Amino acid sequence: MNATDRTPADLLGSALAADPARPLVTFYDDATGERVELSVATFANWVAKTANYLQGDLAAEPGDRLALLLPAHWQTAVWLLACSSVGVVAEVGGDPAAADLVVSGPDTLDAARACSGERVALALRPLGGRFPQPPAGFADYAVEVPGQGDRFAPFAPVDPGAPALVVGGEELTGAGIGARALADARDAGMPAAPRVLSGLPYDSWRGLSYGLYAPLAAGGSVVLCRHLEQLGAEGAAARETAEKVGFTVPLS
The reply to whether the predicted model has a pTM over 0.85 is yes
122: in domain: yes
User: Any residues with CB less than 8 A from the CB of 11 and at least 6 apart, and which?
Assistant: 1, 5, 178, 213, 216, 217
Whole-angstrom distance, CA of residue 158 vs CA of residue 154: 8
* Cα dihedral across residues 59, 68, 70, 12: positive or negative: positive
213: in domain: yes
- What's residue 4's pLDDT? 56
Q: Report the candidate in 11, 2, 10, 7 with the shortest Cα–Cα distance to residue 222.
A: 11
- What's residue 252's pLDDT? 73
Digit-coded pLDDT (tens) for 167-186: 999 999 999 999 999 999 99
Q: Is the pLDDT of residue 3 over 80?
A: no
Instruction: Say if residues 123 and 142 touch (Cβ distance below 8 Å).
Output: yes
Domain count, the chain: 1
Residue 2 — very low, low, confident or very high, per pLDDT cuts 50/70/90?
A: low
226: in domain: yes
Cβ neighbour number for residue 138 with a 10 Å cutoff: 20
106: in domain: yes
**Where in the sequence is the domain holding 51, given as residue range(s)?**
8-248
49: in domain: yes
Q: Is the pLDDT of residue 1 over 60?
A: no
Q: Kind and range of the H or E element at 174? A: helix 174-188
Whole-angstrom distance, CA of residue 38 vs CA of residue 60: 26
**What's 14's domain CATH number?**
3.40.50.12780
Provide the CB-side half-sphere exposure for 188 (13 A, CA): 22
Whole-angstrom distance, CA of residue 38 vs CA of residue 78: 11
| Alpha carbon separation from 165 to 10, 144, 208 (Å, rounded) | 15, 24, 11
Cβ neighbour number for residue 61 with a 10 Å cutoff: 15
Digit-coded pLDDT (tens) for 67-107: 999 999 999 999 999 999 999 999 999 999 999 999 999 99
Q: Please state the rounded mean pLDDT for residues 183-201.
A: 96
Digit-coded pLDDT (tens) for 29-73: 999 999 999 999 999 999 999 999 999 999 999 999 999 999 999
Number of H helices, E strands in the chain: 9, 12
